[in-house]
């Protein structure tokens, strides 16, 4: 077993997050560091939990889902419930992402249609659509599409 201890700064630097984020995870019951006086001290288990938290967040899981998953690790030594939970929240997240993908594809299709219609309208006026876009870009205070 790894007996190395980590400071909040070491973990924050290692995972490119802020100490404030780590303290936030503590308030949510996801991490429970030991104390050496007033200093938080994290062990290998806390570090491993932080890896799971950050991975779960990257995948879009809620902190509640992440906490349930982590808590099941301690409650079920066979890890069967933990794995089933992972499948359940994973399936939920897949469904959410597939819906978002459908929504994005629909939006992209609508935007492409609008762009095509606008380009056709400019051509009917005898204007080059790309030149028109360059000209209007120069006049706008913020660069659209830049």
Are 123 and 129 a contacting pair, CB within 8 Å?
yes
Q: pLDDT tens, 74-127? A: 776 777 888 898 999 999 999 999 999 999 999 999 999 999 999 999 999 999
Packed helices 19-27 and 44-58: angle between N→C axes, nearest 10 degrees: 90
pTM over 0.85: no
Are 12 and 42 a contacting pair, CB within 8 Å?
no
Q: pLDDT tens, 58-78? A: 999 999 999 998 888 777 677
What is the reported pLDDT for 1?
Answer: 58
- Give the Cα separation of 86 and 93 in Å (integer): 10
Strands (E), 9-124: 34-36, 39-41
Q: What is the chain's Cα-based Rg?
A: 25
Contacts of 122 (CB under 8 A, 6+ apart): 128, 129, 132
Look-up of token digits 């095509």: 116
């Amino acid at each position: 077993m790894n007996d190395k201890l980590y400071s909040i700064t070491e973990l924050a630097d290692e995972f490119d997050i802020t100490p404030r984020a780590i303290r936030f995870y503590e308030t949510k019951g996801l991490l429970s560091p030991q104390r050496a006086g007033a200093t938080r001290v994290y062990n290998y288990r806390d570090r491993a939990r932080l890896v799971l938290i950050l991975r779960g967040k990257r995948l879009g899981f809620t902190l509640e889902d992440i906490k349930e998953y982590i808590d099941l690790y301690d409650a079920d030594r066979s890890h069967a419930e933990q794995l089933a939970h992972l499948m359940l929240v994973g399936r939920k997240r897949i469904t959410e992402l597939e819906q978002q993908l459908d929504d994005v594809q629909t939006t992209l299709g609508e935007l492409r249609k609008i762009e095509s219609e606008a380009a056709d309208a400019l051509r009917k006026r005898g204007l080059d659509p790309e030149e028109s876009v360059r000209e209007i870009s120069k006049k706008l205070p913020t660069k659209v599409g830049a």
